[in-house]
Amino acid sequence: MKKTIAMLPGDGIGREVMNGAREVLSVIAEQYGHEFNFTSGLIGGSAIDERGVPLPDETLELCRNADAVLLGAVGGPKWENQAPANRPERGLLAIRKELGLYANVRPVKAFECLEERSPFKKSVLQGVDFVIVRELTGGLYFGKPSGRSGSGEKESAVDTLVYTKEEVRRIIKAAFEMASGRRKKVTSVDKANVLESSRMWRETAEEVKKEYPEVELEHMLVDNAAMQLIQNPARFDVIVTENLFGDILSDEASVLTGSLGMLPSSSLSLNGLHLYEPVHGSAPDIAGENKANPLAMVLSAAMMLRTSFGLEEEASAVESAVQHVLNAGKRTGDLAAADEQVLTTEEMIAEIKESL
């Protein structure tokens, strides 16, 4: 198979973990007889530094000419005083919108060998295996108007939460599709007792449900979901929700596993060009120190192999290698217990390659 993969390392530890993913993918290509062509583009703070904007046109072009996009992480204190419209995160919001990445998918599944790192009791983690499907190109993130008016104590600031039926339907459909191949249960999270957009969301979920008679649908208020997620996480299969609720709930859920440095995500479009990135951020405090855990990036690459290229065997090989290395007690600093040996980013990647 011949594929072009756009790599956008971004800022901070993004570069280091992306290097790791590239090495792993090269081994896979060699072992399975594929040809992966890697291209590389700027996004976030590094793009601001070199091109003056967080998402240069050439980066978008590069993505559009690729079969899949891998993203590292963006942001850092260096760019904190930029005007809001020109911060690194804007690159992230812009690429989502430009590539139509409407569905962010985050699997949450505990690594048994990392359970001692979770703040949760073992009994709570038993059987946890769910996916959060977050709407990614609408809601408060993009609604107009968004701005200020007036002055002094009467100054007011406004943001707008807006969705069209079409936007809601496609994300809920994505969730039902996913649930069809899993345990057949969709939990749709909203705030329908307060928000009009949530009432439309709920109605639309009911409409979509009619097309999937074998999939169960439950509605849950977002405040209740924030509780259930950590009180009884094993009850969930597929959770679907709007952009900002998804932002909050998926970060909350990431704590369950005690392995934030291990969680991959995919952001899907309708046209087949998808983006994959680790859940963690750019971790400026350890950037450039060869300390970052590259496994979330490596597992994001595995998701790409499976979802974008249909390479199930190759994806599983990468995931097994990760599992094998963890089981052997190899850990980067974020996961190591006080008495355990700590691997560098490069050492961890070497271990993964060896296990492939």
Ligand X SMILES: CC(C)[C@H](C(=O)O)[C@@H](O)C(=O)O
Binding interface with ligand X (CB under 6 A): 89, 92-93, 193-194, 223, 247
- Per-residue x/- marks for a second copy, 165-194, CB under 8 A? xx--x---------------------x-xx
**Annotation marks residue 223 as catalytic:** yes
Q: Is residue 337 at the binding interface for a second copy, with CB under 8 A as the rule?
A: no
How far, in whole angstroms, is CA 333 from its chain's centroid?
A: 22
Give SS3 for 144: strand
Phi, psi dihedrals of residue 238, rounded to the nearest 5°: -125, 125
Query: Looking at 141, 163, 212, 276, which residue is catalytic?
Result: 141
> In degrees, to the nearest 5, what angle opens at C-alpha 255 toward C-alphas 331 and 181?
95
Instruction: Give 260-275 as a 3 state SS string.
Output: HHHCEEEEECCCCCCE
CB of 178 or CB of 249, closer to a second copy: 249
Q: Which stretch binds a second copy (CB under 8 A): 62-70, 149-157, 210-218, 261-269?
A: 149-157
Check whether 106 is labelled as a binding-site residue: yes
* Cα distances (Å, whole numbers) of residue 183 to 174, 180, 215: 15, 7, 8
Whether the Cβ atoms of residue 297 and residue 352 lie closer than 8 Å to each other: no
CB of 41 or CB of 138, closer to a second copy: 138
CB of 52 or CB of 152, closer to a second copy: 152
Whether the Cβ atoms of residue 137 and residue 100 lie closer than 8 Å to each other: yes
Q: Which of 311, 310, 191 is nearest to 244 (CA)?
A: 191
Measured from the CB of residue 288, what is the shortest distance to a second copy in angstroms? 22
Cα 1 from Cα 201, distance rounded (Å): 40
Cα 277 from Cα 104, distance rounded (Å): 10
Query: Looking at 67, 191, 237, 276, which residue is catalytic?
Result: 191
Record the tokens describing residue 283, joined without a space.
């971790």
**Annotation marks residue 212 as catalytic:** no
Measured from the CB of residue 146, what is the shortest distance to a second copy in angstroms? 5
- For the chain, the maximum distance between any two Cα atoms, rounded to a whole number of angstroms, is 66
List of residues contacting a second copy (CB under 8 A): 84, 87, 89, 93, 118-121, 124, 140-141, 143, 146-148, 150, 152-166, 169, 191, 193-197, 199-201, 222-224, 226-227, 229-231, 244-245, 247-252, 254-255, 260
Q: Which residues are annotated as a binding site?
A: 76-89, 96, 106, 134, 223, 247, 251, 281-293
Q: Which residues are annotated as a binding site for NAD(+)?
A: 76-89, 281-293
- The residues carrying an active-site annotation are 141, 191, 223, 247, 251
